[in-house]
A = this chain, B = another copy of it.
Amino acid sequence: MERLLASFEKIKTVHPYVHHITNAVTMNDCANMTLAAGGSPAMAHAKEEVAEMICQMSALVLNTGTITQDAFEAMLIAGKAANENGIPIVLDPVAVGATAFRKRVNEALLEALDIAVIRGNASEIMTLVGVSSGRGVDVAVDLVFDEEKVMAFASEKQTVVATSGAVDFMTDGRRCAYCHNGVAMLSEITGTGCMLASVIGVGVGAGNDAFDSALLASVMIGIAGEEAYAAVNGERKLGTFRVQLFDAMATMSSEKINALGRIDVDGACF
């Protein structure tokens, strides 16, 4: 927890720029969540400029939610520039199991780029790992999630894998962590997974460790979700819940994280 609190404080000092090549549905949410979490968002995807732009940024978030061939090519260009300049990349392989095109794109990104953090739901991660092929963006109910395969995958790819679900699971192949924060209502508005990836981008953009950043972002989004849920008294007021989620993220504090964060790291409970 000490490390998480230090990571959180560092974000405020660095105020990192997080570049996104992301999906068209949740761009606005990701931009506002990046700001709420203490970063500054940038979004551009023209092949003519992404490499030049990326060099001025602190992190790069790639999201395949509404991927096209053009956007894929821009991601490759931006990703290579990021790697060359030591700028960490977060990959959100949205609905990777839904189509052959989407699978090919994500595999090509993983092949060509060094990714600091891969963030997905259980079915997306299982698809990447090679265990299952998911239906779409939502978590398959009857999915068998294989933590050991995920650890082996993270180890092989030298990346952190952050799996979102009722309990979030993070691993870099060596360390493992679970985050118990969050509410089911987070999956009843669009884009909370995308926003989580943005918050991870804020963390790695601030120079924090990738594993810590994934865990911290899960805790932050989780606590914000719990606070928003309390604000609507658990009623399904999804419009208000969404507004409150941004309020809660924007007023996040070390005190809240310390008091409300519920994480297990390597079996040790905090």
Q: Given that A45-B68, A100-B52 are known contacts, is A28 also in contact with B31, CB under 8 Å in the complex?
A: no
A231-250 interface with B by 8 A CB criterion: 235-240, 242-247, 249-250
* Given A43-B66, A53-B98, 9 extra CB contacts under 8 A: A36-B239, A42-B137, A44-B98, A44-B99, A46-B66, A48-B99, A56-B136, A239-B244, A240-B244
Whether A17 is near chain B, meaning CB under 8 Å from some CB there, is: yes
The yes or no answer to A138 lying at the interface (CB within 8 A) is yes
Q: Contact flags (1/0) for A236-267 with B, using CB distance below 8 Å?
A: 11111011111101110000000000000000
**A240, B235: Cβ atoms closer than 8 Å:** no
Contacts of A242 in B (CB 8 A): 32, 239, 243, 246
B contact residues around A207 at 8 Å (CB): none
State whether the Cβ of A40 lies closer than 8 Å to any Cβ in chain B.
Answer: yes
Counting CB contacts under 8 A, is A69 at the interface?
yes
B-binding residues in A (CB < 8 A):
17, 23-29, 31-32, 35-36, 40-46, 48-49, 52-53, 56, 65-69, 95, 98-102, 135-138, 188-191, 235-240, 242-247, 249-251
Q: Are B65 and A32 in contact (CB under 8 A)?
A: no
Q: Are A46 and B69 in contact (CB under 8 A)?
A: yes
Alpha-carbon distance A245/B102, docked complex (angstroms): 34
Shortest CB distance A98–B (Å) = 6
A235: chain B residues within 8 A (beta carbon): 251
CA–CA, A237 and B246, complex, Å: 7
Q: Evaluate whether A42 and B95 lie within 8 angstroms (CB atoms) in the complex, with A28-B26, A56-B135, A240-B243 already known.
A: yes
Among B17, B138, B237, B243, contact of A239 (Cβ-Cβ < 8 Å): B243
CB-CB < 8 A to A27: which residues of B? 24-25
User: 20 A-B Cβ contacts within 8 A?
Assistant: A26-B28, A26-B31, A32-B189, A32-B242, A35-B190, A35-B238, A40-B137, A44-B65, A44-B67, A46-B101, A48-B99, A49-B99, A53-B136, A238-B246, A238-B249, A238-B250, A239-B242, A239-B247, A240-B243, A240-B247
Distance (whole angstroms) from the CB of A215 to the closest CB of chain B: 24
